[in-house]
Amino acid sequence: MKTIKEIKDHFSTDEIKILIEIIRGRQDFDIMETAIKDFYEDEFSTALSYSKKNMFSDRAEGWLKENILEKLEFDFEMGGLIWY
């Protein structure tokens, strides 16, 4: 789990606003895909290394994207950046 401090240290205020839009489905994940994957590199290191080498099928790439997006949403909820 990433803390609110880690999120704010890694992303600017404008980037956080965009990430909230991505979580809510108003923006496409691809807009900040590289930055998000870099942020979660320690937690998804094996999967990301395969992804960077283009060794993933489209299905596996979709799985990685969904898991990272779920993790991002969880961390933003726990950090109080979004609520439902």
Q: Where are the domains of the chain?
A: 4-78
pLDDT tens series, the chain, 84 aa = 999 999 999 999 999 999 999 999 999 999 999 999 999 988 887 776 766 666 667 777 788 889 999 999 999 999 999 986
pTM of the model: 0.85
Q: Contact, 2 vs 64, CB < 8 A?
A: no
The C-alpha atoms of residue 9 and residue 28 are separated, in whole angstroms, by 23
